[in-house]
Structure 1
Amino acid sequence: MPPFPSTSRRVLVSGASRGLGRALARAFAANGDRVAVHFGSRRAEAEETLASLEGSGHLLTGGDLTTPEGAKAVADAAAEGLGGIDVLVNNAAVNTPHPLDGTAYEDWAAAWQQHVCVNLLATANLSHLAAHRMIAQGTGGRIVNVGSRGAFRGEPDHPAYGATKAAVHALGQSLAVHLAPHGIAVASVAPGFFATERVAHRLSGAEGEAIVAQSPFGRVAQPEEIAEGVLWLASPAAEWASGTVLDLNGASYLRT
């Protein structure tokens, strides 16, 4: 099998309109790769992401990942626009609070449905679609999933988030074993708290102090730090890390 490409790779990043997704797209573009910037409903922000990328040959691909048909349309558009897919980063996710004791049953059921569709099924479907293209290309590939520290320590106010991220980790390990004969490495990152527009309001006051105190570094991560871990796992040098779940939490949660 020819070696996995090391330059100008074709990269699909899901959920790349802002936050970590934007940092991921920028990291791959700065690395010399061509990036398909996926967005669900935030087209204007996705266009800002696209405009901020170094290099050329990048593109937008919008679509609803909560259905198999939507995921296929996104993967097809990315592959057509880039001429193939060498790297898939499964970043799209939802994380809305739904504590059991304060959530009506109908809202609880709806929250679980949404989290499973976006966090888990979209990851599984995009992985299938991208991996089949990588196999057909015959040059290997990389799939990196964005999981969470919450998969290990629990998420009492966001239980569906913690559960689906644990499932994403398990999915990645299953695919790592299955896809290795094709030269495709699969790994996940498990970030702790990191600063984005979506959670900026939580970093002020007593709650912010408590969040910052979780890490002995006395701060939270920046999205670019998480993106660097993903970029390495997607690199040709990281093949032997296939199957790993890389903790990126600033020593805020240590597991054995």
Structure 2
Amino acid sequence: MSDRRGVLVTGASRGIGRATAMAFAEKGYRVAVHYGSRREDADETLARLPGTGHAVFGGDLADPDAARGLVADAVDQLGQVDVLVNNAAVAPGQGNLHPLDTASWDGWTAAWRSMIDVNLLGAVNVTWAVAQHLVDRGAPGSIVNVGSRGAFRGEPDYPAYGATKAALHAFGQSAAVALAPYRISVTSVAPGFVATERQTAKLAGTEGDAVRDQSPFGRVGTPEEIASAIIYLASPEAAWSSGAVVDLNGASYLR
């Protein structure tokens, strides 16, 4: 085992995942950068990471064997995985709109299948494999799930997204109870709108002001702000937060 802690960040090609990978590397972690399809972006994330010992891994988390294999490869390359950040997700977009009243049958079923397979089951399966690794080592660790504000306020145009993020939060709380005896904490963050690369055009267009006005701060969040919360929740000092779902939405939605 290495003296340096290892972290696996799924969906680390861009956005919150990239910012999180960079924040962990700045803390001295060895980082496993996972990507689903954007290899060039993942390589760019890797190139930006300070320090050494980092690696890139591809894999479709909709495939349970790929999810389990990702963890095995990360452990082999890094020496150990102490922290898991479940960030990978099929995100809402024009190609997977599925409002209940107007979606076609094929569009409806495809959206639910893809989001359940990655957003929920992908995270569940990676979590299982990392938990087994930590328990077998007898080592403490942390798991942080990246959920969404949409789990609470609803996503009428993307109900599968809201539902899978709500399920991820619930799974995280079940895992928190199950893994506490092994000194493994499990928490979730629920970001609101974040200024990732994927949202650049929307924020610059006619909808930009309306999106910013959702928060009384008059702006949207940044990937780095989400990453800073993840870093804290993954730290040993935050172990007593296990089971929490932390809202990170600039007071744009209160519950």
TM-score range, shorter chain: over 0.9
| Residues 70-149 of structure 1 mapped to structure 2, 5 A cutoff | 70-96=66-92, 97-149=97-149
Q: Which structure 2 residues correspond to residues 187-206 of structure 1 after superposition, within 5 A?
A: 187-206=187-206
Give the aligned residue type for 2:183: G
Match of 2:60 in 1: 64
Q: State the distance in 2 between where 1:103 and 1:154 align.
A: 17
Q: Does 1:52 align with 2:48?
A: yes
**Distance (whole Å) between structure 1 residues aligned to residue 91 and residue 159 of structure 2:** 9
Can you list the C-alpha shifts for 1:28-54, whole angstroms capped at 9, x where unaligned?
A: 000111100001111111000000001
Instruction: Please give the per-residue CA displacement for 1:174-221, whole angstroms capped at 9, x wherever unaligned.
Output: 000000000000000000000011111111333111110000000001
| Contact 1:145–1:189 under 8 Å retained in 2 | yes
Is this contact kept in 1: 2:22–2:50, CA < 8 A?
A: yes
Aligned length: 250
Q: Which ranges in structure 2 are unaligned for 5 or more consecutive residues?
A: none
CA contact (8 A) 2:28 2:51 kept: yes
* Equivalent position amino acid for 2:27 in 1: N
Bigger shift: residues 201-210 or 162-171: 201-210
Query: How much has 1:60 moved relative to structure 2?
Result: 0.6
Helix, strand or coil: the match of 1:38?
Answer: strand
1:14 paired with 2:6, answer no
Q: Among residues 26, 34, 46, which one is paired with 2:22 in the alignment?
A: 26
Name the aligned partner's letter for residue 90 of structure 1. Answer: N
Report the TM-score when normalising by structure 2. 0.96
Structure 1 residue 101, shift from structure 2 partner:
2.4
Contact 2:5 2:80 in 1 (8 A): no
Q: Distance in 2 between matches of 1:53 and 1:194?
A: 21
Contact 2:6 2:78 in 1 (8 A): yes
1:215–1:250: 8 Å Cα contact kept in structure 2? Answer: yes
Instruction: Report what 2:247 is aligned to.
Output: 247
Equivalence map 1:169-248=2 (5 Å): 169-248=169-248
Partner secondary structure for residue 84 of structure 1: coil
- 1:74 is matched by which residue type in structure 2? L
Does the residue aligned with 2:206 lie in a helix, a strand or coil?
Answer: helix
Which residue number in structure 1 is paired with residue 162 of structure 2?
Answer: 162
**Shift of residue 95 of structure 1?**
2.0
Cα deviation, residue 84, structure 1: 1.6
TM-score under structure 1 length normalisation: 0.96
Give the counterpart letter for 2:85 in structure 1: V
**Deviation (angstroms), 1:108:** 0.4
| Identity of matched residues, % | 60
Unaligned segments of structure 1, at least 5 residues = none
Please give the alpha-carbon distance, in whole angstroms, between the structure 2 residues aligned to 1:204 and 1:20.
19
Q: Determine if contact 1:95/1:158 at 8 Å carries over to the other structure.
A: no
Q: Distance in 2 between matches of 1:8 and 1:91?
A: 22
Question: Per-residue deviation at 1:8?
Answer: 2.7
